[in-house]
Amino acid sequence: MREMNLLKELQESLLLNKERFAFCIKETLYTYEQLYEKILRVHSYLKNWKNEHILNVGLVTNNDLDTYAAMLACWFSGIAYVPLNPTIPKERNSSIVKETQIRIIFSSAEPQTQMLDGTGQIDIVSPSSLPKSFSSDLKISEASEFRTSYILFTSGSTGTPKGVPISNKNLSSFVSNFLSTGFDVDKEDRCLQMFELTFDVSISSFLIPLLKGACVYTVPEGIKYVEVLKLIHTHKLTAIQMVPSIIRLGRSLIKRMNFPWMKKCILTGEATSIDLISDWQKCAPNAILYNFYGPTEATIFCSYYELPRSGFKSYNGLLTIGKAMGNTKLLIVDDQNNEAAVDQKGELLISSFQLTTGYLNNASKNEQSFIKINPHDSATYYRSGDLCYKDCDGDIMYCGRLDNQIKIQGFRVELGEIEFLVEEKFKFNNVVVAFENNLSLIKLVLVLEAPQIVDSDKKTQITEYLKTKLPDYMMPSKITCRPEFPLNSNGKTDRKKIKELLSSENN
Query: Measuring CA to CA, which residue among 180, 162, 130, 498 is closest to residue 352?
Result: 180
Q: How many residues does the chain have?
A: 507
**CATH fold label, 24-143:** Rossmann fold (3.40.50)
Mean pLDDT of 412-435: 81
- In this structure, the strands spanning 478-482 and 442-449 are parallel
Residue 119 pLDDT: 60
Q: What are phi and psi of 407, to 5 degrees?
A: -115, 130
More confident: 110 or 100: 100
pLDDT tens, residue by residue, 197-230: 999 999 999 999 999 999 999 999 888 999 999 9
Q: Domain coordinates of the chain in residue numbers? A: 24-143, 327-401, 405-506
- As a whole number of angstroms, the distance between CA 414 and CA 432 comes to 10
Contact 100, 122 (CB under 8 A): no
Domains 327-401 and 405-506 in one fold: no
**270 Rama class: left (phi>0) / alpha (psi -120 to 50) / beta:** beta
What is the distance between the alpha carbons of residues 21 and 65, in angstroms, rounded to a whole number?
A: 12
Fold of the domain built from segment(s) 405-506:
GMP Synthetase; Chain A, domain 3 (3.30.300)
pLDDT at 298 over 90: yes
Element (H, E) at 94: helix 90-99
Do 390 and 320 touch, CB atoms closer than 8 A? Answer: no
Pairing of strands 215-218, 239-242: unpaired
Q: What is the pLDDT of residues 222-248, one digit of tens each?
A: 889 999 999 999 999 999 999 998 998
Nearest Cα to Cα of residue 43 among 111, 122, 109, 137: 137
Q: Is the pLDDT of residue 363 over 90?
A: yes
For 463, residues 6+ apart whose C-beta sits below 8 A from its C-beta are: 475, 476, 479
Cite the DSSP H helix spans in 310-437: 363-369, 415-426
As a whole number, mean pLDDT of residues 256-260 equals: 97
* Better pLDDT: 132 or 188: 188
Non-local (6+) Cβ contacts of 16 within 8 A are 213
pLDDT per position as a tens digit, 120-176: 678 899 999 999 876 777 877 766 778 999 999 988 766 678 999 999 999 999 999
Q: Strands 288-293, 264-267: parallel, antiparallel or unpaired by DSSP?
A: parallel
Q: Are 279 and 331 in contact (CB under 8 A)?
A: no
d(CA 123, CA 106): 8
Q: Helix, strand or coil for residue 247?
A: helix
Range 106-113, long-range pairs (CB < 8 A, 24+ positions): 106/42, 106/57, 106/58, 106/59, 106/60, 106/66, 106/67, 106/70, 106/81, 107/59, 107/60, 107/62, 108/60, 108/62, 108/64, 108/66, 108/67, 108/70, 109/60, 109/62, 112/60, 112/86
Instruction: Summarize the confidence of residues 469-485 as an average pLDDT.
Output: 89
Contacts with 97 (C-beta within 8 Å, 6 or more apart), sequence order: 58, 82, 84, 105, 116, 119, 122
Residues whose CB falls within 8 Å of the CB of residue 126, separated by 6 or more in sequence, listed in order: 66, 106, 107, 108, 110
Closest by alpha carbon to 347, among 336, 359, 363, 358? Answer: 336
Q: What is the pLDDT of residue 1?
A: 46
* pLDDT value for 411: 83
Q: Is 0.75 topped by the overall pTM?
A: yes
Asked if residues 68 and 30 have their Cβ atoms less than 8 Å apart, the reply is: no
**H runs (alpha helix) in 370-455:** 415-426
Q: Which of the pair, 417 or 361, is modelled with greater confidence? A: 361
Report which of residues 465 and 487 the model is more confident about. Answer: 465
Specify the pLDDT at position 234.
98
Torsion angle, alpha carbons of 499, 505, 506, 507, to 10: 110
Domain 327-401 sits in CATH at 2.30.38.10
CA 493 – CA 4 distance, rounded (Å):
50
Q: In the chain, what's the furthest Cα-to-Cα distance?
A: 71
pLDDT over 50 (residue 252): yes
Q: 3-class secondary structure for 278-312? A: HHHHHHCCCCEEEEEECCHHHCCCCEEEECCCCCC
